Chains A and B, each alone.
Chain A
Amino acid sequence: MNRFAFAIAGLAVALTVSAQTITVGSKKFTESYVLGEIAKRTLENAGFQVDHKQGMGATAIVWGALKNGDISMYPEYTGTVSEEILKQPRASREAMVTALAKDGIGMSPDLGFNDAYGIVMRRKQADDLKIAKISDLQGHPDLKCGITHELLGRKDGWSPLLAKYGLHFDDVKGIDHALGYAALYAGQVDIKDCYTTDAEIKKYDLVVLQDDREFFPLYKAVFLYRLNLPQKAIDAVAKLAGTIDEQKMIAMNAEANQSKDYSEAATMYFAPKSSPEAASAQPKPVGNSRLDQLLPETLRHLELVAVSMAFAIFVGIPLGIWASKPGRLGVGILGVTGVIQTVPSLALLALLVPIPFFGISFTTAVVALFLYSLLPIVRNTAAGLSGIPVPLRESAAALGLEPSAQLRKVFLPMALPMILAGIKTSAVINVGTATLAALIGQGGLGEPIVSGLSLNDGPTILWGAIPAALLAIIVQVAFDLLEAGIVPRGLRLRPQGYEHDH
């Protein structure tokens, strides 16, 4: 009897544990993906259900998601925690743990390796110019720099680095991390920032310049997690302490870059003895899996476009009607929708994600797309209505039609071609912009584009870019057909070629 009760209790514990889903996030670069996979596997082995949201974006986005509970854990670096998140330069580990706890966040022990920032050059050029240390860069202002947006934007980033070493460069461009390696290899840039465990350093025969004035802080890899996670999960992750050294991390990064499969790369951590033959015996059929994902990705893309467009049409046309009326309200509506359009899409996402209601969600993606789709619809509705000649407006009023009937029966039908053109423009832009939804883990055809960019893998990018372009063309053609179908012939005629007078 006693044993029976014990068994029931054990089963109940097992059920509650397995029913809990932990969401792990990662930043948009290979190592973060791989560490995310390792955390996922570790937690799964401890009996949890785990969801991994890959490549969510830069620090601000992922940290915001952790803080508001969208994700429960993600891989981070001690240097980023002290310099960027807590803004306590060179803080001790104890100080960081105390400060993070105030936000309900915990920090795991060091995983083992130090993935510091570094500066890389092509080995041949560095040798030719006799550059081995960052301070050797003095007197070479003509070297072209391709620096990640993240380092350029960081408080402990590019500008203080230049100041500390007294450097100056004439040509500094912001560039995506993975694309930057391709540019460096191709000679389009000469200097680039790196993570010292990047697999590309070996692959492209690059040299990491010695940080002789100790500018870059230590970037020990850790996991940040919400303190309300089950102790069992925290303990499981704590056991990873000191188990990943630089060599292992570089090897896993190289594997991930080669196989394009983060999960498989993470497997190396759990089964380091697996022979290379075994790995190559079952090569991941990259093409097929991409083809399999094409349909769900396209459908997801269409879902994002359709939902955001529906809102844009139902809000945009009434706003356009308002905006067509003379007065300050109309000017205000057009002004505000115009300003929204000029906010860069990445910036808009970064603005929405920290807001608790939005976070990294379908809603955020739809709201951002909705905002971008608004302007062409509002502007064209307003232009179509205010372009109606005064004599025709007066004729409609003089007939004795109520104002609402004038709008419904005369003005809106006359403005229909313009309104449809606005919706078409919106829809085509929307199909393109919806690829950005992948940046906040919402899928669609942006998924292969973002992951291709992070891996510097052209074919993967095309798996998203080509279907997205085709989709835009299909949308355009569909609207042209729709227009021919519903715009009355009387509005498609041009005022010329009268017949003879009667």
Chain B
Amino acid sequence: MINLTNVCKRYGSLTALQPTNLEIPSGKVTALIGPSGCGKSTILRIIVGLVRPDSGEIRIDGARMDPESSLSLRRKLGYVIQDGGLFPHLTARQNVTLMSEHLGKPVDEVQRRVEALADLTRFPKDSLDRYPLELSGGQRQRVGLMRALALEPSTLLLDEPLGALDPLVRSGLQADLKEIFIRLGQTVVLVTHDMGEAAYLADQIVLLREGAVVQQGTLEDFQKRPAEPFVTEFLNAQRALVAL
């Protein structure tokens, strides 16, 4: 479980996140959605400790995230960004095993874990020794996911994981992701700007606007009991896009 209490972040005069309380339940998939600049990525980066909030606190399974604890907490979090965020000087395999080897885990155990993760993410094993630039966009995203899962984290944080992919690859990976989430049963926080993707992958959706939470619930809640007219507007805008 992840708890944000009164967390707020400003960059100069620009408010990235107004004082926000948010509870992300364990073992469930939560999608953060909203228009650009609504603060959804900021929340994710605050959780993983890349951004320090101006005030408030973040607790991950009860442990407070602060500069002192961030190193050990991050190792219990898996963080995936658009295009995988892979290091170009390392092969797919080396990207996945970087942290395990740094922590001195036994080599055979680490390699077994790579094989298992390749099976889980449906990554072709004969491509494990390729460099990121020798892989397709979808493959890089799968390696990014493998790397995030290498230390068996309790929580998985994904920032627009499918944003850089073309629609066909995207829908294939969406299905694979859903299967992975179900198999692992982890706490997952997913940032997306696509309501269809959020509804398909997530158990609960958090809609944000201008650095504040507008509504938290399921797609059905949003449709039947919108907290504000903005909720309906946002849904209609998404639908109009799909209709195109």
Q: Contact residues of A with B, CB < 8 Å?
A: 391-392, 394-402, 405, 409-410, 413-414, 416, 488-491, 493-495, 498-502
Partner of A396, one of B77, B87, B169: B87
Q: Are B81 and A414 in contact (CB under 8 A)?
A: no
**From B72, which residue of chain A is reached at the shortest CB distance?**
A400
Q: Are A490 and B91 in contact (CB under 8 A)?
A: yes
CB B126 to nearest CB in A, in angstroms, measures 12
B interface residues, tally (CB under 8 Å):
40
Cα distance, A343 to B88, chains bound together (Å): 39
Given A488-B89, A502-B124 in contact, is the A399-B99 Cβ separation under 8 Å?
yes
The 10 closest A-B pairs by CB, nearest first: A490-B131, A395-B85, A400-B74, A400-B75, A398-B79, A493-B133, A501-B136, A413-B89, A501-B169, A488-B89
CB A414 to nearest CB in B, in angstroms, measures 5
The verdict on B132 contacting chain A, using a C-beta distance below 8 Å, is: yes
Residues of the B chain whose Cβ atoms lie less than 8 Å from the Cβ of A392: 85, 87
The verdict on B50 contacting chain A, using a C-beta distance below 8 Å, is: yes
The verdict on B139 contacting chain A, using a C-beta distance below 8 Å, is: yes
Interface residues of A, dominant DSSP: helix
Q: Are A416 and B89 in contact (CB under 8 A)?
A: yes
Residues of the A chain whose Cβ atoms lie less than 8 Å from the Cβ of B34: none
Residues of the B chain whose Cβ atoms lie less than 8 Å from the Cβ of A499: 134-136
Q: Are B50 and A490 in contact (CB under 8 A)?
A: no
Cα distance, A410 to B99, chains bound together (Å): 11
Residues of the B chain whose Cβ atoms lie less than 8 Å from the Cβ of A500: 136
The verdict on B137 contacting chain A, using a C-beta distance below 8 Å, is: yes
Partner of A490, one of B77, B82, B88, B169: B88
Given A397-B50, A400-B74, A488-B131 in contact, is the A414-B139 Cβ separation under 8 Å?
no
CB B209 to nearest CB in A, in angstroms, measures 25
Given A413-B89, A493-B131 in contact, is the A405-B102 Cβ separation under 8 Å?
yes
Given A490-B90, A491-B89 in contact, is the A498-B75 Cβ separation under 8 Å?
no
**From B166, which residue of chain A is reached at the shortest CB distance?**
A501
Residues of the A chain whose Cβ atoms lie less than 8 Å from the Cβ of B180: none
The verdict on B48 contacting chain A, using a C-beta distance below 8 Å, is: yes
**From B75, which residue of chain A is reached at the shortest CB distance?**
A400
Given A392-B87, A501-B169 in contact, is the A400-B131 Cβ separation under 8 Å?
no
Partner of A391, one of B72, B85, B136: B85
The verdict on B182 contacting chain A, using a C-beta distance below 8 Å, is: no
Q: Contact residues of B with A, CB < 8 Å?
A: 45, 48-50, 71-75, 77, 79, 81-83, 85-91, 98-99, 102, 124, 131-139, 147, 151, 165-166, 168-169
Partner of B98, one of A397, A409, A495: A409
Cα distance, A396 to B165, chains bound together (Å): 23
Residues of the B chain whose Cβ atoms lie less than 8 Å from the Cβ of A495: 133
Q: Are B138 and A502 in contact (CB under 8 A)?
A: yes
| Given A498-B135, A501-B168: 14 more A-B contacts, CB < 8 Å | A395-B81, A395-B86, A397-B50, A400-B72, A401-B102, A410-B87, A490-B133, A493-B88, A493-B131, A498-B136, A499-B135, A499-B136, A502-B136, A502-B169
Q: Are A414 and B166 in contact (CB under 8 A)?
A: no
Residues of the A chain whose Cβ atoms lie less than 8 Å from the Cβ of B86: 395
Partner of A498, one of B88, B124, B137: B137
6 A-B pairs within 8 Å (CB atoms) are namely A396-B87, A399-B75, A490-B91, A495-B133, A501-B137, A502-B139
**From B44, which residue of chain A is reached at the shortest CB distance?**
A398
Cα distance, A410 to B165, chains bound together (Å): 25
Q: Are A391 and B131 in contact (CB under 8 A)?
A: no
Given A400-B71, A409-B98, A501-B136 in contact, is the A395-B90 Cβ separation under 8 Å?
no
**From B151, which residue of chain A is reached at the shortest CB distance?**
A400
Cα distance, A229 to B165, chains bound together (Å): 84
Cα distance, A416 to B139, chains bound together (Å): 26
CB B45 to nearest CB in A, in angstroms, measures 8
Cα distance, A498 to B169, chains bound together (Å): 14
Cα distance, A491 to B88, chains bound together (Å): 6
